[in-house]
Amino acid sequence: MNEAQLQEVTAQIAGIMDYAKQHLAHDGSGHGYDHAQRVAHLAEKILAHTEEPVDATVVLAACYLHDTIDDKVVADVEAATEDLREFLGTQGLSGEQVLEILLIIDNLSFSKQYFGNSLPLPLTGQIVQDADRLEALGAMGLLRTAYFGGYSGHPLHDPNMEPKKFTSKAEYRQGTTVINHVYEKLFLLVDLMNTPYGKQEGLRRKQFMENFLTEFYQEWDI
């Protein structure tokens, strides 16, 4: 996707971006509009490295909207989903595009895939998924993990708590330490990347995190 095409798509989804900004403006969990913007920008990079034809409108719309119906952000997912469905029907999208955006958002999450409850994603969804997961890695991923840990009341680190392998979403959502979350989820994301760019960038960001953890343990034990 070249710059002219990107500008065209961005203009087309201006209303969608405003919707996301309004609905994520007061998020304090690390899933705010700034996160959605970075996911969209990462998706643009993946699109630039993708040779197959892809509906960039669907990709970027899903990037901006993916947390507007997340249960970490909204209290009533069903009501939020219906509101989003109605809104998308006013944005000049085809019925197929609306359904694809909702399919992507509903099957994007790590927990849904981890526990075998997700549907296969089309290439559009794989790009969004990689972009969202890259945002959970590297320096930004570590900061967002610590930010969410503080928001949720999770301890930073407990040397007596080993990382877990979860058997249910309920257990996964019970909470853990910030450091354990890196092992329990974030490092696993690298092997789940779909695209060549996602895999390469995921490995680079994982290396940064490993270097950080080496320094962290040295400082923790002082």
Q: What is the pLDDT of residue 169?
A: 76
Element (H, E) at 113: helix 110-114
pLDDT for res 139: 98
What is the token pair recorded at 25? Answer: 């403006």
Tens of pLDDT, residue by residue, the chain (222 residues): 788 888 999 999 999 999 999 999 999 999 999 999 999 999 999 999 999 999 999 999 999 999 999 998 999 999 999 999 999 999 999 999 999 999 999 999 999 999 988 999 999 999 999 999 999 999 999 999 999 999 999 999 999 999 998 878 778 777 799 999 999 999 999 999 999 999 999 999 999 999 999 999 999 997
Whether the Cβ atoms of residue 24 and residue 170 lie closer than 8 Å to each other: no
214 vs 49, 122, 220, CA distance in Å?
A: 32, 38, 10
Two tokens at 109? Answer: 């999450």
Task: Supply 106's token pair.
Answer: 């509903």
Distances in whole angstroms, Cα of residue 155 to Cα of each of 151, 159, 160: 11, 11, 12
Residue-level pLDDT at 167:
79
Amino acid at 190: V
Distance CA 119, CA 186 (A): 21
DSSP letter (8 states) at residue 25: T
CA atoms lying within 13 Å on the CB side of residue 147: 14
Contact 127, 43 (CB under 8 A): yes
Q: Which amino acid is at 53?
A: P
pLDDT value of residue 147: 96
Task: Write down the pLDDT at residue 1.
Answer: 77
What residues does each domain of the chain span? 3-220
Q: Is the dihedral of CA 80, 81, 87, 88 positive or negative?
A: positive
Kindly indicate whether the domain formed by 3-220 is annotated with CATH number 1.10.3210.50.
yes
